[in-house]
């Protein structure tokens, strides 16, 4: 896998996504806690991971897209657990009408989480299950 990233390509993708949304970089960047000169600085060096993540979150795209690792700008993910399917747009469907009240409430709460929160929760659950299996 090629791990060399072109800084100008990253900047171009960011600017393209900003323009596509009708935003102005000098206004958007301070709103997400970044300097309005952030993109000017990216001409010289690779943006930090947290900077790239903030920009990706603000643009509702993935860091992989901004880095050029994928050409799909939208974050499309589907999570399936048992008979529950969910995507990153907080769309959850329960495929079993006999789900008990606890599970319905659990999925109602999950549907209000953003994609990152749901991913972190899923990782915690998987780690918990792994730890139980290894005992």
Name the one residue in this structure whose structure tokens are 């102005």: 24
- Does any domain span residue 39? yes
In tens digits, what is the pLDDT along the chain, a chain of 135 residues? 455 788 888 999 999 999 999 999 989 999 999 988 888 876 678 888 899 999 998 998 888 889 888 877 776 544 555 544 555 444 545 455 455 676 777 777 887 888 788 888 888 887 777 777 776
Q: pLDDT by residue (tens digit) across 10-44? A: 999 999 999 999 999 989 999 999 988 888 876 67
Query: Exposed/middle/buried for 10, CB within 10 Å: 0-12, 13-18, 19+?
Result: buried
Residue ending a domain, among 40, 67, 94, is: 67
Q: How far apart are CA 105 and CA 90, in angstroms?
A: 14
Name the one residue in this structure whose structure tokens are 């399917």: 85
Q: Which tokens is 121 given?
A: 């929760």
- Does any domain span residue 62? yes
- Domain containing 55 equals 7-67
- pTM, whole model, 2 decimals? 0.54
């Amino acid at each position: 896998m090629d791990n060399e990233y072109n800084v100008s390509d990253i900047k171009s993708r960011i600017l393209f996504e900003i323009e596509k949304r009708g935003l102005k970089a000098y206004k958007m960047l301070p709103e997400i806690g970044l300097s309005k000169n952030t993109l000017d600085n990216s001409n010289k060096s690779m943006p930090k991971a947290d900077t790239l993540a903030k920009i990706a979150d603000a643009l509702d795209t993935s860091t992989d897209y901004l880095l050029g690792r994928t050409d799909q700008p939208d974050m499309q993910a589907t999570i399936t657990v048992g008979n529950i399917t969910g995507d990153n747009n907080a769309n959850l469907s329960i495929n079993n009408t006999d789900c008990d009240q606890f599970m319905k409430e659990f999925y109602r709460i999950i549907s209000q989480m953003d994609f990152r929160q749901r991913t972190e929760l899923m990782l915690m659950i998987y780690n918990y299950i792994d730890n139980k299996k290894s005992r």
